[in-house]
Structure 1
Amino acid sequence: MWIEIEIGASIQGISSTLVPMDIQMEPIDHGASGFFNRSHCQFMFRYDASPEEVLVDVVEVDWRVGVRGSFHYRADSLHESWEDISEFVRCYAASHPFKFILSFQFETLYAVRDEHGLRFVGPMPEG
């Protein structure tokens, strides 16, 4: 799964959301990577100093991406991984004002945070 977050978002803000979530994390060049202890779902976030277009092709937005993140999970831990990913999305939306899109392979939309708030638009992913 991919999360694309608008310009202005920071790795520090993402880290401040992740740290209370029972994770293992380490800094990487212009980002952070790690995994959730419950599900072992891996994540990686990267900050881009040159903002890019949103790659999701099923929705039009009027903002550019400043941070892009990915979540990688195994099919046998899909349910637990989805719980961790959706908890991160909810906590991030509650504590940071930035717009974002959560999708699978930039094709299937699962969550949108925009001027109307956070909405989950797709069902839980199936393995």
Structure 2
Amino acid sequence: MTITMFMEIEAGASLETIRHAVEKIASVVTLEKTYLEGYFSDSNGFFYFELVDPPSVVFAEGWGVDWLVGVMGAFHCPLHKLEQSWKEIKYVMEELSLRSSMRFVLSFQYDSVYAFNEGEGVVYKKSMVI
């Protein structure tokens, strides 16, 4: 079984930037014109990012922002490897913050926000593991 974390990234973000953020910790990465997918090395969690055209509003509940989503991402995390999955997701968020000024929000099924970047680095609200 897995849990799914969703990442909504500001319009203007490129799949190429995301590829660079995941490639060091992924065992497989496939980049196509409109999507990027792969598996993380440690957790074997599956990730998928897709361009949103036209850009949409942020779906994370209670997250009212003035930017639109241009890339939707999903992390499918194996329950028995949540700690590894959380480390990998944090790595991706930190790398994206270093490589791009694009804002993003990470939520559990669009319901509960776990982390975000509004332009000043990643802010963690919750942890996937205790």
Question: Common fold, TM-score beyond 0.5?
Answer: yes
Distance between the aligned counterparts of 2:58 and 2:14, measured in 1?
Answer: 17
Say whether 1:104 aligns with 2:112. no
Among candidates 114, 117, 122, match of residue 121 of structure 2: 117
CA–CA separation in structure 1 for the residues paired with 2:129 and 2:21: 26
User: In percent, how many aligned pairs have the same letter?
Assistant: 29
Shift of 1:20: 2.0
Q: Are positions 1:35 and 2:48 aligned together? A: no
What amino acid does structure 2 have at the position aligned with 1:7?
A: A
Please, what is the CA RMSD of the aligned residues? 1.5
Partner of 2:73: 69
Quote the Cα distance in structure 2 between the aligned partners of 1:116 and 1:96: 11
- Given that residues 9 and 71 in structure 2 are in contact (C-alpha distance below 8 angstroms), is that contact kept between their aligned partners in structure 1? yes
| TM-score in terms of structure 2 length | 0.90
What residue in structure 2 maps to residue 17 of structure 1?
Answer: 21
Deviations 1:79-110 (CA, angstroms, capped at 9, x unpaired): 11111111111111111100000000101111
Q: Could you report, residue by residue, the CA deviation over 1:24-60 in whole angstroms, capped at 9, with x for unpaired residues? A: 1112451111110111111000012210111011221
Structure 2 residue aligned with 1:6 = 10
